[in-house]
Amino acid sequence: MGYLKELKSGFIKFWRDIGFKVPSDDVLDEISENILPDGEDPSDFWRNQINRLKRRARSLENTENLIAFYGSSSIRLWVHMKEDLAPLNVLNLGFGGSNYAWCAHYFDEVFGPLHPSKIVLYAGENDLGEGKSPETVLADCKRLVQKIKEKDANIALAIISIKPTIARQEMLPDILETNRLLEKYVVHELQAQFIDVFNPMISKDHKPRPELYMADGLHLNKAGYEIWSRTIRGALLPS
């Protein structure tokens, strides 16, 4: 379709403008087909997303014990987050197609004057899909954490493991290695929370459970988010 070609061109320009390596065509196809919201003008996609998040962050009335979720489309598409994680006070600041580097790039603009009690991060899938190594994903994650700590050293952190997906089964070894590196960094260096969603989503034969995904084999369906809700809510609620 024409809009996908236009969207891909916009992504390529965006990557080059901010100095990132342009991914391969198959990765661009996958991102373009999966993150364009209905009715969105492709030429305005990135700016519209960021502006939407800024408005959401600045329009909050209740910021007491606020937990902000920041990351890629698995966060953005979690439309029932507030209900699923009640009674926690949560804010969804996910934007589709993002990776740790983009999250760092937009962090100051998105969060602005907002000072949540905790930030929960989810990224890494698109990073690996773009051909980045587990070590590079970790380095990009560290840069984002540095941005957060520069804003407010008292903000608590939690990082969600990269989930397995049917569409990216060939990446499972890299996902496992990236999760290992992230967990070691989060637990031992940051002394923060590492929330494992990988293992609850894997079958006994060590494959992604197909009943947890949309038809694209990449994004979560209701059953997938039910697992996320139980796992993440259990990790974040006071014991």
* C-alpha separations of 78 from 67, 74, 205 in Å: 15, 6, 27
**Does pLDDT of 42 surpass 50?**
no
**Does pLDDT of 26 surpass 80?**
no
How far is Cα 114 from Cα 117, in angstroms, rounded to an integer?
10
How far is Cα 230 from Cα 120, in angstroms, rounded to an integer?
15
pLDDT digits 0-9 by tens, 180-192:
999 999 999 999 9
pLDDT of residue 44: 58
Tell me what the mean pLDDT of segment 38-42 comes to: 51
> Which residues are CB-neighbours of 230 under 8 A, at least 6 positions away?
none
pLDDT digits 0-9 by tens, 218-231:
899 999 999 999 99
Quickly count: other Cβ atoms within 10 Å of residue 15's Cβ.
16
Classify residue 39 as exposed, middle or buried by CB count within 10 Å of its CB (0-12, 13-18, 19+). Answer: exposed
pLDDT of residue 2: 44
pLDDT digits 0-9 by tens, 158-167:
999 999 999 9
pLDDT digits 0-9 by tens, 48-105:
889 999 999 999 999 999 999 999 999 999 999 999 999 999 999 999 889 999 999 9
pLDDT of residue 1: 44
Helix (H, G, I), strand (E, B) or coil at 162: coil
Quickly count: other Cβ atoms within 10 Å of residue 107's Cβ.
20
Pick 64-236's CATH classification: 3.20.20.150, 3.20.20.220, 2.60.40.2890, 3.40.50.1110. Answer: 3.40.50.1110
